[in-house]
C-alpha cells in the first residue's frame, strides 16, 4: 500500500480511537504526524531514502561554517576537493592539533563537527575548495493529503508512532505502551529490509 498523508491520518484515528474531528482536528493530526515523521522517525531508521550528499564551497580566510539545521547525521569521511580529511567531534583534541592562535591558511586537512552545528576547517582555507560529505537529513513535511513519505511503505509505522505520541501528550501512558510493541516490530521490519538491501549490494560488488 502506498500510504498518503490522508491514509496515515485515518490510521492514527483508528489507533487512537479518535474518529471524530471534534476529538482532534485534521490540522492537529497533521501537525502531530509531521512532528513524528520529520523529527523522530529519521532517528529510528537508517534508510538510504534520507541520505544525500551535502556540498558547499569554502571562502578564503573563513574557517567555520554553519551546518544545515535539517542535517541529522554526517557520515564520514568529509572530503575537501575530493580528498578525505581527518575529522573529530572532540573540541579539545581538534584545537590541540589546530590552535586558535594559528592563522596559517592552506587547503584544510582537518575538520571539527561541533555540537552547536558548526563545522570548523583547519588550516583555514586560503582559496575556494569544495567540501562534500554524506548526510542523513530530515525529510520534507507532508502538506497535502496526497503527499507520501520518502518511502510510502513507512506509512503504518509513522501512523503508529504518531498515535503513541498522541497518547503520551494526553498522559495516557498505558495506551502508549500498548502500541510500543507494534511500533518496534514495524521499525525492525523496516531496518531489516534495509540490511537485506545492503547485503545484496555487497554480494553484487563481490563478483
**pLDDT of 176 above 60:** yes
Task: Report pLDDT digits (tens) over 134-175.
Answer: 998 899 999 999 999 999 999 999 999 999 999 999 999 999
**pLDDT of 206 above 60:** no
- Report d(CA 158, CA 162) in Å as an integer: 6
pTM: 0.73
Backbone angles phi, psi at 90, to 5 degrees: -95, 105
State residue 198's pLDDT score. 45
- Residue 204: CB atoms within 10 A of its CB come to 8
Pairing of strands 130-137, 118-122: unpaired
Residues 6+ positions from 142 with CB-CB distance below 8 Å: 5, 8, 30, 33, 34, 37, 148, 149
* Buried/exposed 8-26: b ≥16 CB within 10 Å, e otherwise: bbebbbebbebeeeeebee
Task: Report pLDDT digits (tens) over 6-41.
Answer: 999 999 999 999 999 999 999 999 999 999 999 999
Amino acid at each position: 500500500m502506498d500510504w498518503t498523508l490522508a491514509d496515515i491520518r485515518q490510521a492514527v484515528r483508528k489507533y487512537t480511537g479518535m474518529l471524530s474531528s471534534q476529538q482532534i482536528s485534521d490540522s492537529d493530526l497533521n501537525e502531530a504526524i509531521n512532528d513524528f515523521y520529520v523529527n523522530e522517525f529519521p532517528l529510528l531508521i537508517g534508510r538510504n531514502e534520507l541520505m544525500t550528499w551535502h556540498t558547499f564551497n569554502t571562502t578564503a580566510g573563513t574557517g567555520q561554517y554553519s551546518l544545515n539545521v535539517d542535517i541529522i547525521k554526517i557520515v564520514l569521511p568529509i572530503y575537501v576537493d575530493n580528498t578525505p580529511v581527518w575529522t573529530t567531534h572532540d573540541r579539545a583534541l581538534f584545537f590541540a592539533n589546530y590552535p586558535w592562535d594559528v592563522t596559517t591558511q592552506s587547503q584544510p586537512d582537518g575538520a571539527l563537527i561541533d555540537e552547536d552545528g558548526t563545522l570548523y576547517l583547519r588550516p583555514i582555507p586560503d582559496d575556494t575548495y569544495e567540501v562534500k560529505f554524506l548526510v542523513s537529513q530530515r525529510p520534507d513535511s507532508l502538506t497535502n493529503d496526497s503527499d507520501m513519505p520518502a518511502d510510502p511503505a513507512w506509512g503504518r509505522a509513522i501512523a503508529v508512532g504518531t498515535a503513541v505520541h498522541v497518547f503520551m501528550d494526553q498522559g495516557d501512558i498505558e495506551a502508549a505502551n500498548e502500541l510500543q510493541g507494534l511500533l518496534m516490530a514495524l521499525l525492525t521490519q523496516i531496518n531489516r529490509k534495509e540490511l537485506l538491501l545492503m547485503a545484496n549490494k555487497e554480494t553484487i560488488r563481490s563478483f
